[in-house]
Amino acid sequence: MFRFLGSMNLAITLLVAIAIAAVIGTVVRQNQPYPDYVLKFGPFWFELFKSLDLFNVYSSAWFLTILGFLVLSTSVCVYRNLPRILRDVNDYREHSQRNALLKLEHRVQLETAGSVRDNLTVIAALLKAHRYNFRQRSDGVDVLIAAKKGSGGRLGYIFSHAAIIVICIGGLMDGNLPLKIAEWRGKIAVETRRIPAGEIPPISTLSAANLSFRANVDIAEGGQADLAFIDYKNGYLLQKLPFAIYVDDFRIEHYPSGQPKSFESDLVIIDPALSEPLKQTISVNHPLTYQGYTIYQNSFGDGGSRLNLKAWPMSANQLVADLQATVKQFTQAGGQQLEISDFRPFNVNPAPSGDKKFISLGPSFQYKLRRPDGTANEYLTYMQPILQEGRWFYLSGMRAKVSEPFNYWFMPADSEKRLSRFMAFYQALRNPEVIKTIAMKTAASTENSKQSSDQERLAVAQFMQSLAGQFVEGGYEKISAGIDQSLEEGRRQEISQVYVTVLQRLLKNLYLEILRDEGIDTGKSLTEFDTQFFSDAVEAVNLAHFYNAPLFLELKSFQHIEATGLQITRSPGKWLVFPGCLLLVVGVFCMFYLPQRRLWILLEARGTGTAMLLAGSALRNRYDFDKEFELIKQQLTQNATFA
């Protein structure tokens, strides 16, 4: 087992597994909300990836286990090989025998006329010139010189393996290993409810002594926080901080396109351990580091802007009401819970002309109206009317699911760019009493009304009321569906034209009544604007049934409050990872650029001359050693002859 743990096969297998995990962690965005993954991958693949913990690879149990085994395997490998490597570094092998040297690939035999002593002086100078260290062993009249260089290449093996151990330990420290252990023991539970921070239970709260984390917090201008939130699995955890962060000011600059150009925050660290608060401005890529905590400028958003709204009821017998709401807080509206998620003071879009110009669409706010059963539709409403085909419209989008795009409802604005005329028309159309009165007047004003009885005129009025009700509930589409169900195909087109004519007469009389209420003289012909407004209003009512809401919220005024999004990290493991990476670079450099090379020179006295055996070996870079060995041989043979 000990040999297996320190084997090369196990180490390579673990490294390949880590490489595959790194690829997964790069391709699949990590630590995102679970609903985002469901929308992207679908329910089946979401459950599969979730079971494999692929949404949080670097903190997953299997990844931390692989890192742990890699630390163990590398440690065993170092433990087994370190003594041998150290012995090899200090061993010059000066006791090598002649027969062993003759078996080396690099060898040559020379003869010189000088004595052994004379040759020793020349050889020592030559080895020093080539930066070899050497030792000498004498055996009677014979002398063996053992030389070597590049011992750092062998130490590079130790450096690189030690670097892997250090880096993996740093990864284990920053991989939320203590959090995983606490979760396995049942000491930590994920919070999934949207509740105030003060109501989060202790089992979902991490103390300030937590070793490693990456958390986020939004702080409004003039506000402070001593906590942050860790996105974890399908919920979050509350992370307490040993100090408070106060946001003195937040600034943002935009490009002409409306995209953020730069943003920065003036922060104040309030800590009882400080004699005075620490002040520093942070921006993107310029964080603040304090007591091992690093605070990054991560994002920006709304800090709780106060909105003054006008609630237009979308059904009869309800009054228009003024409403005050705060972004990211809950308010009761129309029997439903109003949840405003975002507010933008301006929206810059490309100009419809296609030129490289941008136009501002003004403020907008995004919200949900949550029903008592918990379901909700999401809305995006603009404060100012928007110019479309030379006419002004109020614009509001609705969608039932986050994965769907917004379907926009265009409501025409009057000559003073107000919404009141259309809303008066729409609410009157939904009022049975008003429609009944207008229908009776319309039925009595037809050409055949004088020749009709009261009962016949009443029947016509009731028919108009029925058409108006169908139109409000489902538009022309619902009226056509009723005709298709009740009539044969040959008569459908003719009857449809009759229905549309009758409905248009009713709607026109209702519109004229609205204009008279505004003080407009309807005895004269309508202006071009009022005529076009009627057409746009009818088309808006035709599509109103898609805008599934009990009321329409019009933004009248606001008090904008900005918030800075901060990411707070504590990564003690990085102080191991950084030197570990440096140690790895040093180790790789030593192994590749400081290869160990050995030379042996055996000198034997032969009468008045000396027999010389030159042998050598190298662990790697054989080509370079071939050239060096040839050069040394040439330098030794300048005053000698080959045997």
96, 626 contact by CB (below 8 A): no
The pLDDT of residue 59 is: 80
Beta strands in 1-132 (DSSP E): 106-112
pLDDT grade for 209, boundaries at 50, 70 and 90? confident
578 CB-near residues (< 8 Å, 6+ apart)? none
317, 234 contact by CB (below 8 A): no
161, 78 contact by CB (below 8 A): yes
Cα distances (Å, whole numbers) of residue 617 to 136, 145, 633: 18, 14, 14
- The number of distinct structural domains making up the chain is 4
pLDDT grade for 523, boundaries at 50, 70 and 90? confident
The pLDDT of residue 449 is: 58
CA separation for the pair 253, 144 (Å, rounded):
77
The pLDDT of residue 590 is: 87
Last residue of a domain, one of 554, 583, 618: 554
Pick from 7-16, 417-426, 450-459: least confident = 450-459
Indicate whether 533 and 436 sit together in one domain.
yes
CB atoms < 10 A from the CB of 327, how many?
24
**pTM to 2 decimal places:** 0.67
Indicate whether 456 and 549 sit together in one domain.
yes
pLDDT reading at 113 higher than 90? no
The pLDDT tens digits for 32-76 are: 778 788 888 888 999 999 888 898 888 888 888 898 899 999 999
Indicate whether 242 and 107 sit together in one domain.
no
394, 555 contact by CB (below 8 A): no
pLDDT grade for 258, boundaries at 50, 70 and 90? low
The pLDDT of residue 619 is: 79
CA separation for the pair 460, 447 (Å, rounded):
13
614, 635 contact by CB (below 8 A): no
Last residue of a domain, one of 554, 580, 609: 554
R_g over Cα of the chain: 42
The pLDDT tens digits for 533-560 are: 999 999 999 999 899 888 999 999 999 9
In a domain, 327, yes or no: no
User: Mean pLDDT across the chain, nearest whole number?
Assistant: 88
In a domain, 256, yes or no: yes
Mean predicted confidence (pLDDT) in 346-370: 79
Q: Higher pLDDT residue, 553 or 574?
A: 553
Indicate whether 547 and 468 sit together in one domain.
yes
Indicate whether 48 and 107 sit together in one domain.
no
For 29, the token pair is 């965005």
The whole domain housing 632 covers 96-150+595-642
Indicate whether 118 and 69 sit together in one domain.
no
Mean predicted confidence (pLDDT) in 586-603: 89
pLDDT reading at 406 higher than 60? yes
The pLDDT of residue 641 is: 42
pLDDT reading at 446 higher than 60? yes
Indicate whether 532 and 433 sit together in one domain.
yes
Mean predicted confidence (pLDDT) in 84-94: 87
Indicate whether 171 and 238 sit together in one domain.
no
CB atoms < 10 A from the CB of 261, how many?
10
Indicate whether 490 and 613 sit together in one domain.
no
In a domain, 390, yes or no: no
Q: How far does Cα 371 stand from its chain's mean position?
A: 31
CA separation for the pair 238, 195 (Å, rounded):
11
The pLDDT tens digits for 155-168 are: 888 899 999 999 98
Last residue of a domain, one of 554, 586, 621: 554
Indicate whether 26 and 166 sit together in one domain.
yes
In a domain, 623, yes or no: yes
Counting Cα atoms < 13 Å in the Cβ hemisphere of 239 gives 23
CA separation for the pair 484, 491 (Å, rounded):
10
Amino acid type, 293: Y
Mean predicted confidence (pLDDT) in 443-472: 82
pLDDT reading at 268 higher than 90? yes
For 277, the token pair is 């608060």
For 342, the token pair is 């975002």
CA separation for the pair 438, 435 (Å, rounded):
5
In a domain, 293, yes or no: yes
CA separation for the pair 546, 301 (Å, rounded):
30
In a domain, 45, yes or no: yes
The pLDDT of residue 103 is: 92
In a domain, 165, yes or no: yes
Indicate whether 130 and 237 sit together in one domain.
no
CA separation for the pair 364, 357 (Å, rounded):
21
The pLDDT of residue 450 is: 61
pLDDT reading at 181 higher than 90? no
In a domain, 325, yes or no: no
588, 154 contact by CB (below 8 A): no
Indicate whether 431 and 543 sit together in one domain.
yes
